Amino acid sequence: MTSSECYIFSRLPDDRPKLVGRYRYVRPPGARAFGEFGYAGSWLRHPNAFPLDPTNLPLSRETFTTVKRGCLFGPLADATPDLWGRELVARLEPGKLFSPVDWLYAAGRDRVGCLAFGPEPELASAAPGPERLHLRSLDTIAHEFAKLEAGLPANPHATRIYTAGVSMGGARPKAVIEANDRLWIAKFERTTDTFNQCGAEHATMRLAAKCGLDVAETRLVDVGSRKAILVKRFDRSEGPDYSPTVHYLSALSLINADETSADGSYFAIASELLRHAIRPDKARKELFGRMVFNVLCGNRDDHLKNHALTYGTEGWDISPAFDVLPQPDMLPEQAIAVGRSGVYPSIGNCLSRCGDFGLNLEEAQAEINRIATIATTWRDVFDQEGIAVPTIERVAPAFAIADSYRS
Ligand SMILES: Nc1ncnc2c1ncn2[C@@H]1O[C@H](COP(=O)(O)OP(=O)(O)OP(=O)(O)O)[C@@H](O)[C@H]1O
Ligand SMILES: [Mg+2]
């Protein structure tokens, strides 16, 4: 039997790395490989210890096993690179076969949330790490990423740029940069984009904020003749330390599903919020609002990795919203179920299980009317944010349900 292992540390609750537990990747001869995790006794005894996943990894002496998410437990998989990051890693170390433990190390210090990983039960004092990329590097980063997307060979002088892109999840080209004493995720246009997606994301996030939803702060910036969106990280403090402020857990992890699962629903997330959130009624109402907004603006890519919980000083909460944008080219169905008719995007379907969000019909309808009235102003918001008419016209079909509320 072969295995590889690593130790897991958390920078919370007091910003000093504490040993949380041990992860092992086990390959029994002739049998299926699996991942194994157990909490350290010292973590279980810590008065402010928290579970990495309150549903699937509760604080206990149990040894947990999994074969899902590449044999990584949800909160660990969340902290590894995703499609874009894995593509960059493959460029940095061509031909290398990555084990789950390698993936845990791959994202580096800027990985989402507050976890850290090391080969020994004591976390060696962290090397200072490479200097972070700044706003002024955006042009160079975009240029290098575009070359990779065009299939050109890796540039040996761009290693630092590739490394900055590896930390976060998601499929779109992105890199963590610093600006104004904060860390931001810079998301770039893809060479295959047929409209200003970065602009559409920024304007839609502004619209969501106008609807009273709790969304990550964004900025739209010029990168040569193209655009990039900067999304302020909600899991890091100000510089120069950029310390982790919360533990991060995607809805995919909480529901213990695989990426390929079709089982996701807003009401399943709501029931987890009811069990764990520090203010369950507020969190469930916020989730209901996001679901309605996604239906109104045609954000069909609202999959389980685009929703998350955070654990901070107060406890579990729904994270600020991110990755919200109209998808005029996707099938008119949501990625996860919104009501009794599954993924069918209609306000009636959203209403059908409003009780799961702690709302009676009257309250749910009032919330819908409030959000829809603001969502009808989407063209004005896009215009104010400097989005050109061709992009507005291109995304308009996605806003059909919002437009149906115009009097
Ligand atoms: N403001 C933020 N603060 C901290 N982490 C974030 C923030 N926004 C996004 N993330 C993390 O980064 C990941 C990637 O971001 P995002 O979903 O915006 O990228 P994407 O490439 O558009 O994703 P997708 O593949 O869903 O299209 C998220 O899944 C989440 O883990
Ligand atoms: Mg995403």
Report whether 369 contacts 376 (CB < 8 A). Answer: no
Among the listed residues 20, 250, 15, the one whose alpha carbon sits nearest the alpha carbon of residue 6: 20
Q: Can you give the pLDDT at residue 407?
A: 79
> Same structural domain for residues 402 and 262?
yes
Give the DSSP H/E element, type plus range, for residue 218.
Answer: strand 218-223
Kindly report, residue by residue over 225-247, the tens digit of the pLDDT.
Answer: 889 999 999 999 999 999 999 99
Q: What residue numbers bound the domain in which 269 lies? A: 247-406
Full-model pTM: 0.97
> Same structural domain for residues 58 and 108?
yes
Q: Can you give the pLDDT at residue 155?
A: 86
> Same structural domain for residues 360 and 387?
yes
Please tell me the distance between residue 215's alpha carbon and the centre of ligand 1 in angstroms: 12
Please tell me the distance between residue 31's alpha carbon and the centre of ligand 1 in angstroms: 35
> Same structural domain for residues 175 and 80?
no
> Same structural domain for residues 225 and 279?
no
DSSP state of 167: S
> Same structural domain for residues 188 and 70?
no
> Same structural domain for residues 302 and 344?
yes
> Same structural domain for residues 289 and 394?
yes
Residue nearest to atom 28 of ligand 1 (CA): 169
Q: Can you give the pLDDT at residue 2?
A: 65
pLDDT band at 126 (very low <50, low <70, confident <90, very high): low
The two three-digit tokens of residue 337, written as one number = 């179920």
**Between the CA atoms of 255, 167, 260 and 94, what dihedral angle is there, to the nearest 10 degrees?**
-150
**Own/partner pairs for 29-32, CB < 8 Å, 24+ apart?**
29/1, 32/67
The two three-digit tokens of residue 260, written as one number = 């390929």
> Same structural domain for residues 170 and 27?
no
Q: What is the mean pLDDT of the chain?
A: 94
Please tell me the distance between residue 305's alpha carbon and the centre of ligand 1 in angstroms: 8
Residue that is last in its domain, among 86, 118, 150: 118
The two three-digit tokens of residue 336, written as one number = 């996860």
Q: Can you give the pLDDT at residue 337?
A: 97
Q: Is the peptide bond before 332 cis (omega within 30 degrees of 0)?
A: no
> Same structural domain for residues 225 and 363?
no
Of 193, 323, 329, the one to substitute when testing ligand 1's pocket (max ligand atoms within 8 A of C-beta) is 323
- Please check whether residue 241 lies inside any domain of the structure: no
Percent of the chain past pLDDT 70, that is, above it, reads 99
Please tell me the distance between residue 43's alpha carbon and the centre of ligand 2 in angstroms: 31
pLDDT band at 15 (very low <50, low <70, confident <90, very high): confident
Q: Is the peptide bond before 54 cis (omega within 30 degrees of 0)?
A: no
> Same structural domain for residues 340 and 303?
yes
pLDDT band at 157 (very low <50, low <70, confident <90, very high): confident
> Same structural domain for residues 362 and 295?
yes
Q: Does ligand 1 come within 6 angstroms of the Cβ of 172? A: yes
Q: Does ligand 1 come within 6 angstroms of the Cβ of 330? A: no
Please tell me the distance between residue 47's alpha carbon and the centre of ligand 1 in angstroms: 32
Mean pLDDT across 8-12: 94
Residue that is last in its domain, among 118, 153, 178: 118
- Please check whether residue 401 lies inside any domain of the structure: yes
Q: Name the domain count of the chain.
A: 3
Residue that is last in its domain, among 232, 261, 285: 232
Q: Can you give the pLDDT at residue 117?
A: 95
Kindly report, residue by residue over 286-336, the tens digit of the pLDDT.
Answer: 999 999 999 999 999 999 999 999 999 999 999 999 999 999 999 999 999
Residue 1 reports pLDDT greater than 60: no
What CATH number is attached to the domain comprising 266?
1.10.1070.20
Q: Atom of ligand 1 at shortest distance to CA of 173? A: 21
Backbone angle region of 323, left / alpha / beta, with phi > 0 → left and psi within -120 to 50 → alpha: left
Kindly report, residue by residue over 158-214, the tens digit of the pLDDT.
Answer: 888 988 889 999 999 999 999 999 999 999 999 889 999 999 999 999 999 999 999
Mean pLDDT across 83-90: 91
Residue type, position 254, single letter = L
First-to-last C-alpha distance (Å) of the chain: 68
Tracing tokens 């299939």 back to the chain, one arrives at 151
